[in-house]
A and B are shown apart, each in its own frame.
Chain A
Amino acid sequence: MQFESFSDFISMGGYGFYVWLSFGSCALVLSSVLISSLFDGKRLKQQVRLQIEREARIKKAQQEQAV
């Protein structure tokens, strides 16, 4: 461990703002890319599911009409 105390670790020898700015923005960008990719997948699957349900409903209605 290079730092004496936790506040030393935060201040980074006076460069804390720059170091934490870069690590923070890096974490932000990485997580937003990850979340948006995962969310896209969820939304796509949801779309397909809705489409299947819709077709099932249409089919059912058609059968009821035929009867």
Chain B
Amino acid sequence: MWKWLHPYAKAERAYQLCNTLLPYFTVITVVCLVVGWVWGLAYAPADYQQKDSYRIIFIHVPSAILSMGAYSSMAIAAIIALVWQIRNAELAVIAIAPVGAAMTAIALITGAAWGKPMWGAWWVWDARLTSELILLFLYFGVLSLYHAFEDKKSAGRAACILAIVGVINLPIIHFSVEWWNTLHQGATITKFDTSAIDASMLWPLLINIAAFAGFVGVITLIRLKNEILQCEKHRPWVRDLVSRG
């Protein structure tokens, strides 16, 4: 496996791999996004309790899942970057961070817009909302640390260390917030039970999750390509690539 994987540590090969993968991810994303949104908005039946407002679930849940998923993949890339000293993995950390932050922001905005009609307030200090907000801070921390360094080599490694520290803390933060919440407020909020969801709602939800995952993939690939170009811009292969158009 190592023999097969190792060439991709080279920037040029990684760039080509991004180019090969990008069309597949784009197709999956576009198809799933269109199908998922149309199905979710127009064809899925209304919830008997929450009526049509529940349709926010089709973007809220995928973005919340992907915000955590993007953070863990960022941390995995960071561990790979630090343990095996692979520069491309460092670049991947930086490529994932913005789209992860975007997912977190979407989860927060849609959570607020769902909370207003259901709980009567834009923001409640619910455990999940609070840990999502802290996740957003962690993303901002990684991004601003990276952009604060002049030297992009140490910037990448510093961001990797912070991502790993963050991922160790994330479960602690999550459970402490959950625990804090039950202690202070009690279970005043009826949680939407996703496991008991009907198939007519589950399918569009799954398709939307696939769409959001594909979107994270697309943005990561595009940004990884940018980062590779940025740090290899004096190399001949980049010059060839650019002058070929």
Contacts and interface: CB of A to CB of B under 8 A. Distances in A.
B161 interface: no
A22 B42 contact: no
B42 A25 contact: no
Interface string A15-47: 100110111011001100110011011001101
B113 A21 contact: yes
A14 B118 CA distance: 13
B162 interface: no
Contact of A25 (B55, B109, B233, B243): B109
Contacts of B63: 26
A12 interface: yes
A3 B55 CA distance: 13
Contacts of A41: 222, 225-226, 229
Contact of B243 (A13, A23, A52): A52
Contacts of A12: 52-53, 55
Contacts of B86: none
A2 B45 contact: yes
Interface in B109-155: 109-110, 113-114, 116-117
A38 B230 CA distance: 14
A52 B116 CA distance: 55
Chain B, interface SS category: helix
Contact of A23 (B37, B46, B117, B233): B37
A45 B106 contact: no
Interface size bracket, B side: 35 or more
Interface string B215-245: 1001100110110011001000011001100
B219 A45 contact: no
A29 B102 contact: yes
Contacts of B110: 22, 25-26
Contact of B59 (A1, A13, A14, A23): A23
B9 interface: no
Contact of A15 (B51, B109, B225): B51
A2 B204 CA distance: 14
B111 to A, nearest CB: 9
A64 to B, nearest CB: 22
Contacts of A23: 37, 41, 56, 59
Central interface residue in A21, A22, A44, by most chain B CB within 10 Å: A22
25 contacts: A1-B42, A2-B42, A3-B42, A9-B42, A12-B52, A13-B46, A13-B52, A18-B113, A18-B116, A19-B53, A19-B56, A23-B41, A23-B59, A25-B109, A25-B113, A26-B109, A29-B109, A30-B215, A33-B102, A34-B218, A37-B226, A40-B223, A41-B225, A48-B238, A49-B243
Interface of A: 1-3, 9, 12-15, 18-19, 21-23, 25-26, 29-30, 33-34, 37-38, 40-41, 44-45, 47-49, 51-52
